[in-house]
Amino acid sequence: MADLKLTDVEKAYGDVKVLSDINLDIKKGELIVFVGPSGCGKSTLLRMIAGLERITGGTLEIDGLVVNDIPPAQRGIAMVFQTYALYPHMTVRDNMAFALKIAKKSRQEIDAAVSRAARILQLDQYLDRLPKALSGGQRQRVAIGRSIVRDPKVYLFDEPLSNLDAALRVATRIEIAQLKESMPESTMIYVTHDQVEAMTLASRIVVLAGGGISQVGSPLELYNRPENEFVAQFIGSPAMNMIPGEVVETGPQTVVKLEGGGTARADIPTNDGDKGLKVNLGVRPEDLTATDGEEFLYRGQVEIVEALGELTVLYFKPDGRERPMLAKLPGTHAEMRGRNVKLIAEPDRIHLFHNGKSLLYR
């Protein structure tokens, strides 16, 4: 139930800067997801917000108050850990009540808060069990309950679903989404490396890479209008295809001549000076369709066909490319294997990048 503001936040271990220039405004009621490849510093950033890691530069404000030097407990945050971090020697009830006991709340208050959280998370019948007598999903619910009980301003989730098996992960993800819905006022920050979690839960996603923020935006913004090649390839699965090329026609639409002989028309405005600009054309596998026409974007031989029933993934021969071209076609196309196929995409589904930056955001 709070606004967060990060200004020029930076983290350095000795001389090594792992995070720098983090500027972020988080509004009350948002669910912000930090995603990024391993080692990008997303957990570190979360732990800095929690107060478990020192902020070595910049300021962190919660509700307008700079909290850099305020201990975790007084920041009004609660955190759910990847490994649950339940106190193994305490019952579920005591686990949830611990923070309130430390805060010297009255018995009635504690009981009320614990039973409310237990009701929300359907833990009523497990209150007197020890954590070791619970399943993984139940343990994570207790960990979430421990946060709810404290009624924090900000909820922090550090990869809460990574230790659960696939089925439980989906179920718990939905529970977290419902939890957020039942507490629309609460601010949540969620760290994950799982795209699906990021896309389904987030009101806004923060993509972290190379020690900084790569792009901030709603899930569909990131999907439809990635600011740079990294975000373009990180969001979406399988990753976006990249084909190098050169701008040959400018105007409200841009025409690009591509390596491999293809051409593409993109709904991206360019001006005369851009003629001859070296660009990378990005197109998502799911935006490609097979064509028999004269015009094509890419032509190649299909090497592997993954028929998944509802859709088919085609892997083309790499032909010297770093990664093979991929296309995702609806329906079943098992017969495509070994064939030469031409691909095309709609002009509004094409992305152009120069030096890694999208031409849309110039």
> Where along the sequence are the contacts to other proteins (CB under 8 A)?
50-52, 71-74, 77-79, 81-90, 98-99, 102-103, 146, 150
* 322: nearest Cα among 250, 187, 229: 229
Kindly state the smallest distance separating residue 152's Cβ from other proteins, in Å: 9
Give the tokens for residue 11: 């983290």
Kindly state the smallest distance separating residue 85's Cβ from other proteins, in Å: 3
Kindly state the smallest distance separating residue 71's Cβ from other proteins, in Å: 8
H-assigned helices in 85-218: 92-102, 107-120, 136-150, 166-182, 195-201
Angle at 117 (CA atoms; ends 114, 120), nearest 5 degrees:
150
Nearer to other proteins, 42 or 146 (CB): 146
What is the spatial distance between Cα 51 and Cα 74, in angstroms, rounded to a whole number? 10
H-assigned helices in 12-74: 42-50
Nearer to other proteins, 158 or 287 (CB): 158
Give the tokens for residue 73: 């407990």
Neighbours of 333 (CB within 10 A): 19
Radius of gyration of the chain (CA): 24
Nearer to other proteins, 51 or 282 (CB): 51
What is the spatial distance between Cα 254 and Cα 262, in angstroms, rounded to a whole number? 14
Kindly state the smallest distance separating residue 175's Cβ from other proteins, in Å: 20
Kindly state the smallest distance separating residue 5's Cβ from other proteins, in Å: 21
What is the spatial distance between Cα 360 and Cα 282, in angstroms, rounded to a whole number? 12
Order across the sheet with 31-35: list the strands: 77-80, 154-158, 187-191, 31-35, 204-209, 212-217
Order across the sheet with 263-266: list the strands: 263-266, 254-258, 241-249, 278-283, 350-354, 357-358
Nearer to other proteins, 77 or 179 (CB): 77
**Peptide bond before residue 324 is cis, with ω within 30 degrees of 0:** no
Residues 199, 218 contacting (CB under 8 angstroms): no
Instruction: Give 83's contacts (C-beta < 8 A, 6+ positions apart).
Output: 163
Nearer to other proteins, 89 or 323 (CB): 89
Nearer to other proteins, 88 or 318 (CB): 88
Kindly state the smallest distance separating residue 123's Cβ from other proteins, in Å: 17
What is the spatial distance between Cα 195 and Cα 198, in angstroms, rounded to a whole number? 5
* 33: nearest Cα among 226, 130, 134, 177: 177
Kindly state the smallest distance separating residue 125's Cβ from other proteins, in Å: 24
Nearer to other proteins, 113 or 240 (CB): 113
Kindly state the smallest distance separating residue 108's Cβ from other proteins, in Å: 20
Nearer to other proteins, 102 or 167 (CB): 102
Kindly state the smallest distance separating residue 143's Cβ from other proteins, in Å: 8
Nearer to other proteins, 146 or 351 (CB): 146
